[in-house]
Structure formats: C-alpha cells, structure tokens
Chains A and B, each alone.
Chain A
Amino acid sequence: GAVVSQHPSRVICKSGTSVKIECRSLDFQATTMFWYRQFPKQSLMLMATSNEGSKATYEQGVEKDKFLINHASLTLSTLTVTSAHPEDSSFYICSAPKSPGEAFFGQGTRLTVV
C-alpha cells in the first residue's frame, strides 16, 4: 500500500513552546492532506484539511492560530502546535488520499506538554 510518513512519532515539550509535526506522502502526490486528533479510546476527530498552495480549512471549534498548517509541496504538510499547553497533549495523525476515498495514514505523533 501507499506510504505516508509522519514525524516525530513522539514528542515532549514544555508548556509555552511550539511543536512542528511533518506529514509526507512518500510514493504519491497529495494536493490535500488531513489532520486528525485522537483522544484515548476515542475515534479520530478531523481538525483541518490542508490544501497545497492555499489556506487550510479548519473544522468548527479548532483554533487556527493555535494549530498552524502549511502545505508546502505536493508531498509535505506540517502542523505546528503553537504555545502548547497541557490540554494540547494528544495523539495527532495525518492522512493523505491516494485516490478518492482511499486514504492512508501516518504513524501518528504522541504529543505530551509538560
């Protein structure tokens, strides 16, 4: 299957600092990528849609200034959690569709803010 690489897999940061998470499609181009957040024993919650060459689309209730998304190329999207606080601690996952409906996921990033 197609490969989507997400980095880092785990990060611990101090409260008030920013953290960048990268998502790369390794063997296909993705004009759109998706960022999800997942709480323990919960399903994935869509945060935003990353669009190559244009602004990201955020879901209702997601702070644009807190979660900065940049889709710099057809194979790379980044999510930056700015001024992180303990309540931002979560599992963040990106996905990229190779074809309509067929989405592949990254390995996920476990963020812990201390």
Chain B
Amino acid sequence: QKEVEQDPGPLSVPEGAIVSLNCTYSNSAFQYFMWYRQYSRKGPELLMYTYSSGNKEDGRFTAQVDKSSKYISLFIRDSQPSDSATYLCAMSVNTPLVFGKGTRLSVIA
C-alpha cells in the first residue's frame, strides 16, 4: 500500500459545481496536511495548509482532515474554469512532504 493514495482522475465538472477531491493515507504519524494546485508547466501553488484534524476554510476552498479515518478532502465551491488544474495532496510528519499522484480537474464553462 502506498503511503498516500489519490485518484488521478481526470475529473470533469460543469462551471458552478461543487468539487470534492480526496486522499487517503496509511501513516498515522502524519500531522501536516496540504493541498497544492498545479497548472501545466508551473510549480505547485500552496492552497491550504492544515495541522492535525479539523476543517479550514479560505474563500471557495474548504479543507477537511479526518485523522481517525486517515482521510483528507478539499472542496471547491462555485467552481470556475480557472480552477482547471491538477490538485495534489501532500502530508508530512515534519519534512519532507509525501505527495499524492494528483487529480486532474477540468471545469467546463
């Protein structure tokens, strides 16, 4: 079993939809959880950063961490075509980060 599992997609949704992206992990020692957005041929951009369990909201983005289930989620509300990108989950005990494979998202206008 890989340390971090993430469905690679692709995921295609209409503009305005709520998007749910998820990752599962096996290492119970992970305590830092991140979501990155990566546009083609660009470096990953940090979207959300969460320490331990709980929810965090930033604009249209909500990150959830359920350590008991070893499951993290990123929700995107009112999705826009500009949200089309690859979304990478990442987590760590300290450093370095362990990444999921990334989910390719397309938001269709």
Same complex: yes
User: For residue B44, which residue of chain A has the nearest CB?
Assistant: A105
Please, how many angstroms separate the alpha-carbon atoms of A97 and B92 in the complex? 11
* Docked complex Cα distance between A41 and B45 (Å): 17
Tell me, yes or no, whether A61 is within 8 Å of chain B by CB: no
Whether A43 contacts B95 in the complex (CB less than 8 A), given A1-B46, A107-B42, comes out as no
- Binary contact readout A18-46 vs B (1 if CB under 8 angstroms, 0 otherwise): 00000000000000101000000111101
B75 on the A face (CB < 8 A)? no
- How many A-B contacts are there with CB distance less than 8 Å? 64
B59 at the interface (CB under 8 A from A): no
Q: Does B77 contact A (CB under 8 A)?
A: no
Which of B33, B43, B46, B92 sits near A106, CB closer than 8 Å? B43
**Nearest A-chain residue to B50, judged by Cβ:** A101
Interface magnitude class on chain B: 20 to 34
Check A100–B32 contact: CB distance below 8 A. Answer: yes
Minimum C-beta distance from B68 to chain A (A): 19
Chain A interface extent, by class: 20 to 34
Selected contact of A93 from candidates B32, B44, B46, CB within 8 Å:
B44
The complex places the Cα of A95 from the Cα of B43 at a distance, in Å, of 9
Task: Tell yes or no: A78 within 8 A of B by CB.
Answer: no
Docked complex: B59-109 residues within 8 A CB-CB of A: 88, 90-92, 94-97, 99-102, 104
Contact A101 B43 (CB under 8 A): no
Given A100-B94, A100-B95, A102-B34: A43 and B46 interface contact (C-beta under 8 Å): no
User: Would you call B102 and A101 a contact (CB within 8 A)?
Assistant: no
Q: Which residues of B contact A1 (CB under 8 A)?
A: 46
Least CB distance, A95 to chain B, in whole angstroms: 8
Q: How far is the CA of A43 from the CA of B88 in the complex (A)?
A: 8
Given A32-B95, A97-B95, 10 more pairs with CB closer than 8 A: A4-B43, A6-B43, A43-B100, A93-B44, A95-B97, A100-B94, A102-B49, A103-B90, A103-B96, A108-B42
Residue positions of B touching A, CB distance < 8 A: 31-34, 36, 41-46, 49, 51, 88, 90-92, 94-97, 99-102, 104
